[in-house]
Amino acid sequence: MIDKKNLKIAMGADHGGYGLKNQLKEFLSGGGCTVIDCGTDSTAAVDYPEFARAVARKVADGEADFGIMVDGAGIGSAITANKVLGVRAALCYDVSTAKNAREHNDARVLALGAGLIGSALAQQIVETFITSECTAERHLRRVQMITDIEQQPDIEFTAPQSTPPIPVVETGISESDLVRITDEVERLLANAGLTLSPSGVPQPLEADYIRGKQMVQQPDAVRKFMDFGVERVGYHNGTGCENVPEDIARCIDHTVLKPDATDADIKKLCGEAREFHFATVCISPSYVKLAAKELDGSDVKVCTVVGFPSGAHSPEIKAMETRQAIRNGAKEIDMVINIGALKSGKDDLVYRDIRAVCEACEDGSAISKVIIEAALLTDDEKVRACELSKKARANYVKTSTGFGPGGATAEDVALMSRVVQGAGLGVKAAGGIRSYDDARKMVEAGATRIGASASIGIVKGAQETTISN
């Protein structure tokens, strides 16, 4: 992992990204980076290609190690930066895409959309982007292929003989299709409080109304739900307060891990997850195939547990469990650390334990969460567990299995959040979270994901809170 201290970062933004650029500039400077500000210097309307090119030029000329460009959506800046010879720019909207852009593509310029993500998430994305490296031979080989194409654009590129040709499918879009697509984009942006500027960049609505309906002023707790963490917030049908429960739901892992859960229980869980658009369903490994089938075509992912609930399995067994779960359809893995090894001071074993699962997740493009079972640990042990999770390159640390002597506490979440802050990890609070008020306390303490079996109650509590405000 790259040490971010002493890195030189070129930064730029248009008027839509000016505010977020300044926040990230302060964040990077505070972390020891040298920031080269390429403008803009105010919220006065400007053209983003000018600044995106300036940032990319700094990277291409070797004046900066990395470049960061912020506009309303990030798309135009990424396209512009990629026109500068020798630059690979990537639009990233969460930690996973930032990590992939660096480790798989060796991208050096990061494009961000200020109208699509909040400051907390942007900081996590930037941290991950500038500290990750492209080291795997297969990825380095592919990056070189990209470079070869760029340097010899007139030479036809021939794929290796072992790679079957990709069929080209020609698709026509009618004028009526374009109208429907445009209407849908406008609706989604309106739900997010955005509109398209004449230049095609999403920007905040100036009026307090969306399509004739008054926008609801969200309470601060709901805003935190919508700004935090690794996961993107999705917008669905409806406007105003009708949207809030679904947006909060995207931060919840809808969970059933009781040993007597039946096929019917899992199908019911998946049906509820589809209805409320939860982030995942979290179920036992034996039900992964069933859940994947039930959720096929939906926006809900399948999460399962590994080494559950004691954590006493060997690293090899946990890695095998992880790989099998991913093959069966799991997209997120919650693994339990070897608690006894941690308490015995065997940090090397705990690291190997976590890393074995994280590596399997990386190979399978899955999210890794590390359950430390905080109720069994001293504060020092909690810190060590979080530090080892950072070292092993996990995506989240998680408080509890729900089967230990205690569940999530705001104090534990706050401690874990402080330890992993700036490392690109999220914090999942789980165990004993039964109401919106419980969930709100966890978010205020620093949680970026919630694991709960009372998910529907939390969402309905959020809706009631929003309406009352």
Quote the CA–CA distance of 143 and 106 in Å, as a whole number: 7
Respond yes or no: is residue 334 known to be catalytic: yes
Respond yes or no: is residue 428 known to be catalytic: yes
Going by C-beta distance under 8 Å and a sequence separation of 6 or more, which residues neighbour residue 436? Answer: 457, 458, 459, 460, 461, 462, 464, 465
| Enclosing H/E stretch for 396 | strand 396-398
Quote the CA–CA distance of 51 and 54 in Å, as a whole number: 5
Q: What counts of helices (H) and strands (E) characterise the chain? A: 18, 17
Beta strands in 170-300 (DSSP E): 194-196, 202-204, 209-210, 213-214, 252-255, 280-283
The C-alpha torsion from 317 through 318 and 320 to 321, rounded to 10°, is 120
Beta strands in 243-293 (DSSP E): 252-255, 280-283
In terms of Cβ atoms closer than 10 Å to its own Cβ (0-12, 13-18, 19+), residue 212 is exposed
Going by C-beta distance under 8 Å and a sequence separation of 6 or more, which residues neighbour residue 80? Answer: 48, 49, 52, 53, 56
Judged by DSSP in three states, 431 sits in coil
Instruction: DSSP for 15-64, please give it.
Output: TTTHHHHHHHHHHHHHTTPEEEE----SSS---HHHHHHHHHHHHHTTS-
In terms of Cβ atoms closer than 10 Å to its own Cβ (0-12, 13-18, 19+), residue 6 is exposed
For residue 387, the tally of other CB atoms under 10 A from its CB is: 16
Q: Under a CB-based contact definition with an 8 Å cutoff, are residues 91 and 75 in contact?
A: yes
Quote the CA–CA distance of 66 and 89 in Å, as a whole number: 10
- Catalytic-role residue among 71, 247, 253, 334: 334
Respond yes or no: is residue 4 known to be catalytic: no
Q: Using the structure block, give the residue that is written with the tokens 């790259």.
A: 2
- Catalytic-role residue among 106, 428, 438, 441: 428
Q: Give the angle subtended at the CA of 150 by the CAs of 144 and 153, to the nearest 5°.
A: 125
Judged by DSSP in three states, 252 sits in strand
Comparing C-alpha atoms, which of 27, 49, 30 is closest to residue 38?
49
- Catalytic-role residue among 398, 412, 438, 441: 398
Half-sphere exposure of 362 (CA within 13 A, CB side): 16
Q: Which residues are catalytic?
A: 334, 398, 428
